[in-house]
Chains A and B, each alone.
Chain A
Amino acid sequence: MTFRIVVLAKQVPDPETPPSQFKIDESTNSVFPPNGVPPVVNGFDLNAVEAALQLRDAGADVEITVLSAGSEFVMDAMKKPLAMGADRLVLIEDSSLGNIDSSGTVKILAAAIEKDGPYDLILGGRQASDWDQAHVTLGLAEVMGLPLVSLVQKLELNSDSVALQRVIPDGYQVIEAPIPVVLTVTNELGEPRYPNLRGIMQASRKKPEIFTLADLGFSSGDLAPKLELKKLYVPESNRQVELIEGEDEPDSGKQLALRLREEKLI
């Protein structure tokens, strides 16, 4: 029987955007799309896609669906998981999704998963690189009443359970979880694979399946945010670096040590 996996993926501004290009529009409390730097799929979500693909590589018969809620999707970015080897892309696209908070996102994703499911495994990245809250996938498990294991670095399928390793500060825990289960995946799992040419060709032929809020039985009034964003700004830094310049590089190293001693720092 096919094992159905859904991977949650979010489109985010590229976190590698140079700091000089990171600008905030304070009139709308939002980040200006950086010039010429296209958005990407959140990096940890690609680790989750990789986790699903590794189950397939290990011989399991899996169907991998990528699910995303958002607005202004850029297909070149969102199709990357398909190019890596995922089977389907389901998008919940609605312009009002820019104004909801994660309590709303969780409800929408849960409804979409119930409509499109049932799934055996629900995977998400450990956190999104825009709001860094690390809680949507955790919240989803609660709203759906499913078991949850976060920070997974390794997973193996058994017939009706999964064997997991969960990262902790100085090592890992070994965890056994029933199916269905919700997991967040961390980068310790390993780098997401690069799409190959065949994957890119296949992805280009696939069309995303689109759900609207109405399809899922919501109107935007149902999703009032609990947190109201009052202000978004770049913190001022007034640090001034003192550059140590010796006669040559080795001398600079020596002078640096002497300077730190002078400051009683070492």
Chain B
Amino acid sequence: MTSILLVAERDGQGEISQSTLQAVAAAKSLSDSQVTVAIEGDAVKSGASLAVEKIVTLSPTDSGDAGIYDKATYDITSLISLINPDLVLFNKSDFGSVVGARLAFRSDYAFAADCIEISSTVTGLSVTRPVYGGSALAEFEIASTPAIVTLRAGAYETGTDTGSPIIEAFNSDGSVVGQGATTTDTVAEARDGVRLEDANFVVSGGRGLGGPEPFSLLNELADILGGAVGASRAACDAGWIDHSYQVGLTGKSVNPDVYIAVGISGASQHMSGCSSSRAIVAINKDGDSNIFKEARFGVVGDWEKVLPSFLATVRDLKA
């Protein structure tokens, strides 16, 4: 039997997130799995039919702990001692990356971040994770339990199974959990239109754009197609567009139907954030650049000449 503690996250509406549903599918793929889901706050509607054995609710975190996650680290550490799982599964989100690593090292557990595959072996678990920015894959065997694993979004498809889990509240003993850092404010940019992460169409610009102005062309294209604009890290680091538009390993993950990369060389770290797109389209003046190894369609050419006519044709098609 594989006993799994899966730490759930919510989406913008407070429901169980798509990434968590994918993690449930990953957990169910292990041999003879018994899954307990831990979730902060009250159990949600979509939880009642989740294909797991049990849901444990944790009391919510206050805003002073946002991004620090002292409380979640403490609560889930306590929960692990109580239920002794073989595997603790997180999403590779901000929350999962911090809480997973903190509690693993707090208790000297094995930790594997950003995995794309987990499987049962005779002696324990095997995980596969991209390394060297996605240039290589590494397969590890983890013999000690529990193994703390974070899972990359999109690595598994959400399942269709349903279940009727028992729902319980977990009351942590409430002793000192904090280490003194406090969040006093959150400054978030409200953005119109589709979220980059949810968009079915994304057009991203890179260093090849040469400056901030061309992003207005990209914006126009995204507007016509009801999509969103993204960027490479080079474009963000240059200050042409805010870092919150960055797609990639250390930026956002997108999975649109069409991902158009303009003036982007296709470094593995960039592709890590968009390789699950249905079709990648490249506009780049260098036919040897790596982006053409990843793209389904491409034009070798200068974006200044290619993009305006592309935009005009798209506008006509949509008119």
- Contact surface of A with B, Cβ cutoff 8 Å: 13, 15, 19, 22, 24, 29, 31, 102-103, 106, 126-127, 129-135, 138-143, 145-151, 166-178, 181, 186-188, 191, 226-235, 237, 239, 241-245, 248-254, 256-261, 263, 265-266
Contact = CB atoms under 8 A, between A and B. Distances in A.
B136 interface: yes
Interface string B100-139: 0111111011111110000000000010011111011111
Interface in B226-261: 233, 237, 243-244, 249-250, 252, 257-258
Given A166-B67, A227-B112, A235 B310 contact: no
26 contacts: A130-B132, A131-B132, A135-B105, A135-B113, A142-B105, A147-B179, A147-B180, A169-B252, A172-B187, A174-B186, A174-B187, A175-B68, A177-B180, A226-B109, A226-B144, A227-B110, A228-B141, A229-B140, A230-B140, A235-B136, A245-B299, A254-B312, A256-B281, A256-B283, A257-B309, A265-B258
A249 B302 CA distance: 7
Interface of B: 66-68, 94, 97-98, 101-106, 108-114, 126, 129-133, 135-144, 179-189, 191, 201, 225, 233, 237, 243-244, 249-250, 252, 257-258, 268-269, 278-279, 281-283, 287, 290, 292-302, 305-314, 317
Contacts of B113: 132-135
A228 to B, nearest CB: 5
B135 A242 contact: no
Contacts of B102: 138-139, 141-142, 148
Closest 7 CB pairs between A and B? A139-B105, A171-B188, A253-B310, A249-B305, A257-B313, A253-B309, A226-B110
Given A239-B294, A250-B309, A132 B132 contact: yes
B201 A147 contact: no
Contact of B136 (A232, A237, A242, A254): A232
Contact of B94 (A140, A169, A244): A169
A226 B112 CA distance: 10
Tell me the dominant secondary structure on chain B's binding face.
mixed
B293 A239 contact: yes
Contacts of A148: 68, 98, 102, 179, 181
Contacts of A241: 282, 292-293, 295-298
Nearest to A131: B131
A250 B314 contact: no
Contacts of B290: 19
A266 B225 contact: yes
Contacts of A177: 180-182
Given A149-B181, A170-B188, A178-B181, A31 B110 contact: no
B140 A171 contact: no
